Each structure stands twice: as structure tokens, then as C-alpha cells.
Structure 1
């Protein structure tokens, strides 16, 4: 009898603490004083005056009978979100924040070294393309990367078709900036590490030795350029790959199904990729202080480690969520919520004992952590440190009003950032199926991530951002203007296409009247600058002009469009 009354007392004390916390600092102070966050010890005296053993409420899951109690307070957010390295707001300047001079110089150095190693002492056939190899420069690599980026917008099944002269398939721009043999040779010798310096015993990630240095540089730039907002997400991403690789993963829920898996941390609001870890099986490089945890917990703690103790709120799915992970996050003043598997270790013993009707909710509390089970079409299990069992009305896609737990609504709102980034990168991919070398394919995937992060920052800082596909081709155009290839690199007799003209910002340009045609003595054409602007009604402006630039072969108004077209990178 005494034990049952003592148990009711413990439950009531827990509810009193959760409801009576007037400040977030009070709960934080209690968390740090106990062995486990939210640990509350109570002592009860017996009738004869003797003190019984203390009972730890934080070690006990207590069922919540009413959703009226206040949810656990969030930890105060002390981060400083936003872009930390300034740039001039042009598309290329954002990409240069991630592909820095250090990254480009490293690629140039290792590519030239690898080409020399391959050709040293080799007897090349008489008509081999490799005989025409010339060491690459930083400008060559930039133009090479620009063409890879543009291939994501101009999709063709075979790479050589980008240089074809067939009028049905031709894309003159590619041949105007770099010849097909030169592009193929750079792709053949593209390299990112010195093979002679590799030591498997001391290398931090032997399975990623071919790409490790560049990967570390680019991910470090992701973290240095931008600090995410409070809500962040961790999920897995899969880069399609079916080659011979011991750590290729199969994930049935992903569209690619087979490929190289990465654990990624993204900002929930924008999908900015802030950190990632490539999974290579047992040799995966996690932070050494988390070796005692399993793969799921170690991956999350490795990704979020620089953001701990700042009040961030993490969203995870049932692969990562566990009481073990959430307790560690609470110790470091980090909130979290997400779906959880009902059979996880240390979940409430009676979590799945009762069969629920549709719409019914049951919940248990353990300190700051709540485990909730809600019956929809099937059971949905949620683990959270910032929610209670309260529900709210929402409208479904079929315009029906339904009751859902607030924890489920918040999870649906913040969980999809990694999938959003993957989806955006898949629309204009830099990765090609024909790429057999795994390290070159991973580099192309890193290039996609750099493009996506560049576009996220560009949208945040631009008053009138262009669509994603326009951003990509304008970025390629800016690369070809800033890093012009030598005259010998392009095929003679080729000029730029109508839309993309890499020479429009250089040289001398003069306006002329459009030449007469067989039907009109004074023909007109649409001004390309005006057609890219929007009027007060939000629709694109349609304006005709009689003037054009013969060198660029585009119609332009004399004032101010002629000047804008030849002086601004983005118009």
C-alpha cells in the first residue's frame, strides 16, 4: 500500500514540475544537477519517522492521462544563424564561397600529377588522344566544371552528343568554349589526391582515399559560410551507383535503391546542406568520442556536434530516434523530436500493450522526454522533448478537417528538408550514369550540393531571384566570362548560342538597325532584357525594338537595355 501511494506521489510531482516551471532556466538547472536530464528525486517519510529510499522519477515512464499540462519548455536558442562570409550577390560569387581557390588549386595540382604519372614510361598508340595532353590551369578547371554544370540543364544521353554537329542535336556553346577531346582528357585524368602519399595504416578514411581531401575542404566550407536556423533535420541521402564497391547500400524506399549512402544535416526551412558523413560500412569516420554508441546515434551526434549546447531543435525519423540519443541531446541543451520505432530500447514497457481506435492518443512522460502513440491508418509513434499530447485541427489534401497531435504536425513541417534538397539536385544533375569511377561520381555529387547551397543563399539575399534552371545557366555564363579559355581550346568557326553568349561582357559592341527581310523593310524583334523583366502586374514585359547587337545577335532597346546587357552578369 505504501509503495502504491509513493508511486502516485512521484507521478504527481512530475506533473507539478512540468506544469510549474516558470522559466526554461529552472528546468535546465534541474537537468544538470541530476544524473539524467529532468531527474527529480523525492524522499518520503514513513509513519515512524524513518526516511525511505529516494525514488527517481526521471528513470520511470509515467503515463499522461490528460493533455492539458504544458509542454516541456524549449532550451533557449543562442545560435547566430545566417551567412557569415559576404559576397557580391552574383551567382558565381556564391559558388566561389564553396569552390574556393584552395579547392580549385588542389584539383589542378593532383590532375596534372596524375596525368604525368600515367604517361610516364607508357607507350601510347600513335593516334592516342593522350598524346595531345597539356597540363590544366585553374581557368581550364573552371570551364570544365561549368560545362558539367550546364549538362544538368541540357540533358543528353551520351556525353559526346554535346559536341555533335548534327543540326537536330547540336549545342554550339559547348564547342565554342572547349573542344570535346580536351574535355574528355580532363575527365580521364581528373584526380583529387596523391596516390604516392597514401598510407592505409594512418589514413583517417582509407575507403575514401581518392576523394577525402576535397570532400573535407568542401564540407568545411559549407559549415564556415552559413550557420543554420534553430530547426534542423538529419536524414540519409543515396547517390545512385551500381558499380563494384564494397559499401554500396540498398534502400528500398529511395528512388535510386542502390548507391552510396550519406548522412546529411540540413536546415529545415531552406534545405541548406550544412554537414554530411559518407557511410562506408564499419570504417565510417564518426567522431571518436561517440564510439560506444551505435551507427544511428553516432551519425547524428557527429553531424550535430558543432551545434550542441546552443538550443537547436533536431528532427529525425525512426532510424535515428531513440531515448538514448534524446537523453544525450538533452544533456547538451538540444531539443529533438521525430518518429520512433516502438521496440526501441528503453521505451515505455506498456507502449504497445493497448490497442487504439482511430484518432486515439496515448502518451508517456520521462523527465523532459515524451513518447506518444497515435492511431491513424496505422500506429504513429513519436518521441519528443518539446511537445505534450495535445492535438490540433488541420486540413488534409482532400480538404477534410482532422485532429492530429501537434508533434505530428511539426514533424511533417520540418522533416522533409533533406528530401527537398535531393529532389532539387535531381532536377538538374551533374552526376551521369556513365561515370564508373566512384570518386569522380562523388565529386560530381559534391558539385551538385555546392550548386544547391549557392542557390539557397542566392534566393535568401536576392530581391527578385531567378528560377533554379536560370540560375544554373547564368552561372555557367559567368564562369566562361571570368575564366575565358585559350583560343586553341575551342573549335574554329564556332560561336556562342543565342541565349548564352560568354563574350557579351567583353569587347566593343555597337548598336545597329535590324537588317530588312523579304517581308519587312523595318523589322522588329523582342528585346531580350525587357522580356526578362516583370511589370507591375507580375507578368513578363513584351517589348519590340528595331535595334540589335550584331556581335551578340540579340535585339535590344537602345536605352537602357543595350548598356545593361553588356555590363551586368544577370539581367
Structure 2
């Protein structure tokens, strides 16, 4: 009876906690290190005195499901989510929040430096490298635009983008940059000065080729946008099969072999807020958390700027542990996720009790709940914001079952990293033929920046836009901004190719020529179709006038002038 009374009083003390008491609960755990419990977790001695002090809740106690306390209150959320920089509302402006002037200038400087170093050595008489000209910021942007467009227009070989074979030709690539120029920029693309590298003082020697640019872009991820309360931490794998000592194999990932990174994303959108590349023992985590293992230090390093603000972190069983959750509670941060039953400091009887389908077993320790739920197999979770309550849900077969609330919330908030990984694979900037690991990391960084810019653009856009539409509009914006009229062109542009001189060239209206079926054919005006009526439906207006150079239908006035003087989407 003494044991039952002790558990009852401990549960009642947890129920009485208000928001103002959360800090005292976190402070009380400072005196008790996660590994220095005064009694054996899971045991319940009859000789212990009965008390309602909060310190009693610092021992794992089985939860009586018939008298389970309500969920502990969350820490107050004090973050200020949203975009923190001002920019124009066009795709290129959002991408330039991450690839800003400093990043582009760094790439231009190091690419030209590396090219001069390589060209100083003797070359073959007919080497294409002899035609090299130093790159400018405009060249780099056009180069990046073609890389992005290659993710939409997939071809097995890079040189096929410049082929003149009519079956697979894409004339637009030749109008932006010649294949010789593109391949030379790719050959000499560089991000660091090799002459100034010192392994003893470099913060990440294994990433010396890409470290500076990588840090600049990831820092822009963090300063540009503040995520919502719910965030998730998971690992990502970039496919790569080259020779690297820190190459990883993860059987559950689609790529299986590649370069692993730890990522923190916003749960609702998949915005990539922070990331750390894994390089084995030399992985660059925050030195403040060097005393912890890889799983704990990776979460704390990623989320360190967001701690003490009431955020809620969702993790999987690789990261979740009582040790991590204790630290997060001290830093006024909530967390929940799946957990391995044999983790250190878990209740001793946590994984031993046999459950029938639908049964629940739970243990409480202060603000932390350890729960086992039997579905087709045991599902083990840790949470600092949930109780043992269940909610009705439907299976894929349409059968209604009772599922713990923590499981439902976990399924809704854990997919932030997976959502981002899935999105960048649809239109990849990374190519299998890329052998240099640092160039492949750079392409992957460009993919992530493109995805983040799409999220920010979509949030402020009045009309919905798909990811694919956003990418080709991004390429058009780059060409309109950085391509000049003197760029080399080959032959007449095909009618279906986007005209990069739409806003700068000379255009004249003409009547649409007759066809075999119609003497007076019409086309839909592209400007009118970009508008919506009072009911929110697209406006459809036919016109007999079109622009032969752009090959689009336009009203004579004012749409013809509008289309050729401003960006219309």
C-alpha cells in the first residue's frame, strides 16, 4: 500500500504543476545528473518515505492507466517564426537570400584562382583549357541556372543538353552558354584556396574544399527564417560511391551509400534550418556538447540556437534517450519520439512485459513519459508533453482503432526531413557523373537552397505554384537578369523555348497566321490567364494577336506592353 500511495501522490504532484512551475522542475533536475539516480529505476522500495516533493517524481514510476494524470504542460513558446529578411517577390530574390553576394563572390574568386593555378602548368597544344576566360558573377549565375534546369530536363549525359539531334535537342541551353564554356567552368569550379590550407588549424579538415561556402549558406538558412514551434531532427543521405573514409551505408535509405548529414527541419513545411555533415570522428559538432555521444550532441548542436524558447523537437529512436530529454527539459525545450527499449536509464522492466494488441504500458519520471503500445509489434516512445490518452484513427483498410495520442503526433511532425529529402530528389541538381565529392556537396547545397526558397516563395504567393513551375521560373529569372544581348546564339530559337530576352528585346505584334482548319485562329492571352476573377477562377480571354518571337498569344492592349515590360506568372 505504501508503494501505491507513493505513486499516487507523485502523480498528483505532477498534475498540479502550472506553467510557472516548469522552470522549478527543470531546475530540480540540475542537481540530479541523468546517470546518478539515487535508486534503481523501475524499483519501488517499501521502506521509502511517502512525500509529495517534486524530487519524488525523478524516479521512474509505473502509470496506472485507470488513474493516469493529464499531460504535463508545455513550455511557453517564445520564438518569433517567419521570414526575417526583406526581398522582392520573385523566385531569384528568394534564392539570393541563401546564395547572396558574399557566396557568389567567394565562388568567383576561388574559381579564377584555381584556374590560374592549373593553367600555369604545361598544357597540350589543343587543350580546351587554353580558351579559358575568367568568370564573373553573371557567368556563375547563368551556370547555376543551367544546373537547376538540368534537374527538370533530365538527360543521362551532360553533353546531350547541347546536342543538335532533333530527337533530343534542347536549344535553350545553347542560347545561354556554350557547352565548352559550361564544361570549363565545371572543371575549374572551386570554393577554397589550396595554398592557405593548414590541417592543424582548420575547423573541418575533411571538408576543406567546401567548408567556407558550406558554412556561409547554412548560416543564411538560420538567419533568413525562424521555424514554427514543431521541429524534427533526422539524418539524410546524399548518394555517393566515391572513395571517402567517412562514406556511410544506411540500408533503410534509398541511396544506401553516400554522405550522411544530420538535419533539423520545420515539421510542417520541411524547411531546412540547420545541417551538419558527418565526417566520422572529425564531425564538427558544437564543442559545448563534446562530452555526450553522437546522437545527443548532434541534436543539441543543431537545435542550440532554438533552445530555451519552448520549441518541441521530434526525434526517432537513433536520437531519443532519457539523457537527451533531461537536457532538453533543463533548456525549456519539449521533445518526443520513438526510443529503443534498451536505452540507458530507461525503466528496467520497460521491454520485458508482454502486451496484447492494443495494450499500453507506461512509466512516468517527472515531465517525461515512457510508453509501450502493442500494434503489429511493440512501439516504444518517450515524450515530455503527452500522457497515455488514445484517440480513434482509421487504418488503411478502413478499420477504426484506438491509437495513443503521442503516436498520432509523432506521425504528423516527424516527416520534416523526409519531406525535404523527397522534394530535392524530384528535380535533382546532383548528377551521378560528378566524381569530386566537394562539387557534389555543392550541388546538393544548391538543391537545399532551392527547396528553402520555394517554401518561402509559396508562403507569400497569392496563387498556388508547383515545385516544377517554380524551378523553371527560377531559371527564366536568372537568364532575364544576367544574360546579355551579346551572348552567342546558334540558329533560330524553337517556339516552345522560353525567351530570355522577353523583357529586353524588340518585339512586334502580328496576327496569328491561318491554319488548315481555321482562317482566323485565336490563342489564349497569357497575361489575362495570369489573373483571377471575383470567384477565384482563372480569366480566359482569346486574342487574334500574338508575339512571333515569344510565340505567345496576347491582347493588343495593354497585355502586349505588360508582357514585355514586367515579369508575368
Aligned-pair CA distance for 1:28: 2.0
Indicate whether 1:553 and 2:548 are aligned. no
Contact 2:266 2:273 in 1 (8 A): yes
Distance 1:31 1:545 in 2: 69
Match of 2:23 among 19, 25, 28: 28
Question: Per-residue displacement from partner, 1:474-529 (whole Å, max 9, x unpaired)?
Answer: 11001011111473x53443536524111101133222212344554433233333
- Assess if the C-alpha contact under 8 Å between 1:40 and 1:56 holds in 2: no
| Distance of aligned partners of 1:497 and 1:243 in 2 relative to their CA distance in 1, 3 Å threshold | farther
Once residues 539 and 152 of structure 1 are traced to their aligned partners in structure 2, the CA distance between those partners, rounded to angstroms, is 31
> Is residue 36–residue 327 contact of structure 1 (8 Å, CA) maintained in 2?
no
Cross-structure match for 1:476: 475
Between 140-149 and 31-40, report the one with greater CA deviation.
Answer: 31-40
Q: Which residue pairs with 1:90 in the alignment?
A: 90
Q: Secondary structure at the match of 2:93?
A: helix
Gaps of 5+ in 1: 42-49
Structure 1 distance, partners of 2:518, 2:337, is: 67
What CA distance in whole angstroms lies between the structure 2 residues aligned with 1:224 and 1:61? Answer: 40
CA shift in 2, pair 1:394/1:183, >3 Å = same
Question: What residue is the counterpart of 1:452 in the other structure?
Answer: 451
Retained in 2: the 8 A contact 1:513–1:548?
yes
Structure 1 CA distance for aligned equivalents of residues 147 and 484 of structure 2: 15
Quote the residue 1:14 is aligned against.
10
| In structure 2, C-alpha distance between the alignment counterparts of 1:17 and 1:55, rounded to whole Å | 7
The answer on 1:568 being equivalent to 2:566 is yes
Count of aligned residue pairs for this structure pair: 555
SS of 1:210's equivalent in the other structure is coil
Superposition pairs for residues 163-562 of structure 1, below 5 Å?
A: 163-485=162-484, 487=486, 489-495=487-493, 498-517=496-515, 520-532=518-530, 542-562=540-560
Q: 1:486 to 1:536 in 2, by over 3 A?
A: closer
The verdict on how the C-alpha distance between 1:353 and 1:528 changes in structure 2, with shifts beyond 3 A counting, is same
Map Cα deviations across residues 132-179 of structure 1 (whole Å, 9 max, x no partner).
000000000000000000001111111001000011111111000100
Q: 2:566 and 2:331 mapped to 1: Cα distance?
A: 48
User: TM-score, length-normalised on structure 2?
Assistant: 0.93
Which whole-Å CA distance do the structure 2 matches of 1:452 and 1:213 have between them?
21
Give secondary structure in 2 for the equivalent of 1:167. coil
Distance of 1:358 and 1:564 partners within structure 2: 65
Describe how 1:31-180 pairs up with structure 2 within 5 A: 31-34=26-29, 35-36=31-32, 56-66=55-65, 68-120=68-120, 122-180=121-179
- Give the Cα separation in 1 of the matches to 2:193 and 2:332: 42
Of 78-87 and 501-510, deviating more is: 501-510
Most deviating of 94-103 and 489-498: 489-498
3-state SS in 1 of match to 2:471: helix
Please say if residues 235 and 265 of structure 1, whose CA atoms lie closer than 8 Å, have aligned partners that are also in contact. Answer: yes
Alignment root-mean-square deviation, CA: 2.3
* CA distance in 2 between partners of 1:568 and 1:395 (Å): 50
Change (3 A) 1:419 1:117: same
SS in 2 for 1:425: helix
SS of 1:445 mapped into structure 2:
helix
Contact 2:172 2:497 in 1 (8 A): no
- Distance (whole Å) between structure 2 residues aligned to residue 500 and residue 332 of structure 1: 52
Residue 58 of structure 1 deviates from its aligned partner by 3.7
Deviation, 1:62, is 0.1
Q: CA deviation at 1:545?
A: 1.8
**How far, CA to CA, are the matches of 1:14 and 1:423 in structure 2?**
45
Is 1:357–1:375's contact at 8 Å kept on the other side of the alignment?
yes
**How much does 1:33 deviate?**
3.8
Q: Which segment drifts farther, 106-115 or 529-538?
A: 529-538
Distance in 1 between residues matched to 2:273 and 2:75, nearest whole Å: 22
Name the SS of the counterpart of 1:529 in structure 2: helix
Secondary structure of 2:379's match?
A: strand
Write the distance in 2 (CA, Å) between the matches of 1:497 and 1:163. Answer: 17
Q: Is the 8 A contact 2:28 2:55 kept in 1?
A: no
Q: In the aligned structure 1, how far is the partner of 2:247 from the partner of 2:532?
A: 48
CA distance in 2, matches of 1:551, 1:544: 19
* Cα gap change, 1:500 to 1:402, in 2 (>3 Å): same
* CA separation of 1:59 and 1:542: change in aligned 2, threshold 3 A: same
Assess if the C-alpha contact under 8 Å between 1:153 and 1:428 holds in 2.
Answer: yes
Distance 1:257 1:557, change over 3 A: same
1:285, distance to aligned residue in structure 2 (A): 0.4
Verify the 8 A CA contact 1:547 1:556 in the aligned structure 2: yes
Are residues 197 and 494 of structure 1, via their aligned partners in 2, closer, same or farther at CA, if it must alter by over 3 Å? farther
**Residue 124 of structure 1 aligns to a residue in which SS?**
coil
